Amino acid sequence: MRASLIQLSVDSTDSADERRRRAASLVRDRAGDDLVVLPELWAAGAWSYDRWDHDAEGLDGPTAEAMSTAARQAGVWLHAGSIVERDGDGTLYNTALLFDRSGDLRGRYRKIHRYGFDTGEATLMGGGDDIVTVPTDLGVIGLATCYDLRFPELFRGLLDAGAELIAVPAAWPAARLTHWQLLTRTRALEEQVFLLACCATGTHGDMRQAGHSMVIDPWGTVLGQARTTEETVTVDLALCEVTRIRSELPVLRDRVLAIEAPVRR
């Protein structure tokens, strides 16, 4: 399969509408690919907290509509990154969307771990409850978002739910680039999955984002990596490698599930 990460620039110099138009055009350029991935909260801006209320939308809002159309026009599976979703009660969620080649919404994941400690996303948004995997004609795709990378138990849950490839949209800060590079490779290696991690670039809300979007194979090898500009990384990958590597190095078979550690905080 051929997969692309579109590392969009999310900068305070352009508007959500401009980014939607640019993202749709970049997705259409990927006609012929199988899977395309966009970053986290790229329309509203992951660090533009003051925009979230204004730019929040439903699953039939302008971002979802533009991305559904772009997926259909390009004939690709499209992980459209995430949106600031407002539900019927008015609660905001950081919600990732996966469209199929016809533009139908096939997966929706509300980010479970909210970043910010006692500020930002942690206080302005609700958290998701569900681990989400989506069976596709490509393989089983697991969904996680940005800060989730710091929580290995979620990735183990995705593995147990059958994930062969995990897509991770992000808006990771440039100041913690080394964490991004370590955590993405570690999650791919420990779960023996392909990990497609698409980070935003550019600066908004006073936060410079890391770029360095990466595709990593189940051996932990980086198959493709972006730099810090707006760019698209395209790789060819064989999902059958998951089965081959899991049988060549069968560490997952050696799990001891009965360990019960006391939880101390």
Ligand X SMILES: NC(=O)CCC(=O)C(=O)O
111 annotated active-site? yes
Q: Whose Cβ is closer to ligand X: residue 197's or residue 242's?
A: 197
Residues 104-123 that bind ligand X (CB under 6 A): 115
Confirm or reject binding of residue 150 to ligand X (CB under 6 A). yes
Among 38, 46, 132, 193, binds ligand X (CB under 6 A): 46
| Total site size for ligand X, rule CB under 6 A | 11
CA dihedral 259, 185, 145, 51 (to 10 degrees): 140
- Work out whether the CA dihedral 47, 125, 87, 51 comes out positive or negative: negative
75 binds ligand X (CB under 6 A): no
Residue type for position 203: T
Cα→Cα distances 98→76, 79, 106, Å = 11, 4, 6
* DSSP H helices in 99-228: 121-124, 152-160, 177-191
Count the neighbouring beta carbons within 10 Å of the beta carbon of residue 21.
13
Q: Let me know if 240 is a catalytic residue.
A: no
Of 70 and 149, the one with the shorter C-beta distance to ligand X is 149
- Per CB under 6 A, contacts with ligand X among 159-178 are 171-173, 176
Contacts of 241 (CB under 8 A, 6+ apart): 194, 217, 218, 219
Minimum CB distance to ligand X, residue 147 (Å): 3
Q: Tell me the angle at which helices 152-160 and 177-191 cross, rounded to the nearest 10 degrees.
A: 30
Question: Is position 231 annotated as part of the catalytic site?
Answer: no
The interface region with ligand X, picked from 56-64, 145-153, 156-164, 229-237 by CB under 6 A, is 145-153
Smallest separation (angstroms) from ligand X to the CB of 150: 5
Catalytic residues: 40, 111, 146
Residues that bind ligand X (CB under 6 A): 40, 46, 115, 146-147, 150, 171-173, 176, 179
